[in-house]
Structure 1
């Protein structure tokens, strides 16, 4: 295959993977619906930067070396799984508290202030959460190793490899930003306001389930 065909195939496979439900997708849905567009876009930027770093590490062979070290990879899995579990537990705890106080008028009055504080004071936190969620996901590491090793030949030109990195980062930023924008339109925000607690709960369950499965897998690798 020539480089144009390789890059087109790479873009197609990556776009399909981006649209598949996973921790990145759930993180954008949770934060864009709860905190609004600005936070959702910073989450999207953080996720895309994590994907860019994964792509660079895979392209340079560093991720492959990590994957070939069972102990090191198991520790990475444990860290990533624990972080996803932490996000899920936090989302479920917050959902439970909001559910209990849903009939409390004073709590409802404080909600806009909480949202404003998060958006204005924690842009860096939103960016960091998106980046950390992606870069600590061991499934992402394995995915990009497979993607790069199977589609990007070692003899590919520097411009071709640079184009591959630009495509992976650009598609990621565009997709997650579009998702955040669509979920934070005024019409949709009004419709899903009453469903926010359920969306948070669902995302929390996804994070906890993924985190637990990764932790279990890493502990099994360490024990064996």
Structure 2
């Protein structure tokens, strides 16, 4: 199989995974709709960087380490679940707080917070690296061509950042923002419940492995 065919197969599988609803979607859409379009795009970049980090770790063989040391995988699952529950609590807590959206960017600090929150959300689920490793194992040959090694991080970033940029642009439009402002209390509570449920699911799935 040629390098182009290998990369096409891997990227198609990763695209399906990126478009599946989850905590990353909740975080990026909420940042875009409640802050600004640039904040949403900064969050999309955070998702892209997180995806590249997971891809590099999967290629480096961290999956084998997690398999060998089950306790390390459990620690990562509990830590990631706890982070998602924390984010859920913050969203729920701020549901009643009024929000004035001007569409202006608050500055580098705001963009940095959006980027960091998205990056940490992306990295909070260690299952992602298992998914990456599984896809790589299915499509990568025993000896990985140099072109594939170079193309993988670039493609992963393009897929993750590209998809969430689309999400950010869609949810930062005027109509979605008006809907959010009109029903902020209920939307934030729903987002908090979804995020909290995903975090608890991650924690309980780790507990089941003990």
TM-score normalised to the size of structure 1?
Answer: 0.85
Equivalent residue, structure 1, for 2:22: 22
Partner of 2:157: 169
Deviation for aligned residue 1:119: 5.5
The answer (yes or no) to whether the contact 1:30–1:199 under 8 Å persists in 2 is no
Quick check: 2:58–2:130 contact (8 Å CA) kept in 1? no
Contact 2:3–2:147 under 8 Å retained in 1: no
**Aligned equivalent of 2:89:** 89
Q: Which moved more, 1:41-50 or 1:180-189?
A: 180-189
In structure 2, the partner of 1:63 is 63
- Give 1:214 deviation, angstroms: 1.3
Quick one: distance in 2 between partners of 1:117 and 1:177?
16
Kept in 1, the 8 Å contact 2:43–2:117? The answer is: yes
Asked whether the 8 Å contact 2:36–2:105 carries over to 1, the reply is no
**Structure 1 stretches of at least 4 aligned residues deviating more than 6 Å after TM superposition:** none
* Distance of 2:57 and 2:50 partners within structure 1: 11
- Give the Cα separation in 2 of the matches to 1:91 and 1:119: 22
What root-mean-square deviation, in Å, do the aligned CA atoms of Structure 1 and Structure 2 show? 2.1
Aligned to 2:114: 126
Q: Are residues 1:11 and 2:11 paired?
A: yes
Structure-2 change in CA distance of 1:143 and 1:125 (3 Å): same
Name the residue aligned to 1:136: 124
- Find 2:200's aligned residue among 212, 220, 223: 212
> Gapped runs of 5+ residues in structure 1?
99-106
Partner of 1:103: none
- Higher normalized helix content (fraction of residues): 1
Moved more, 186-195 or 11-20: 186-195
How many residues are aligned here? 210
Runs of 5+ consecutive residues of structure 2 not aligned to the other structure: none
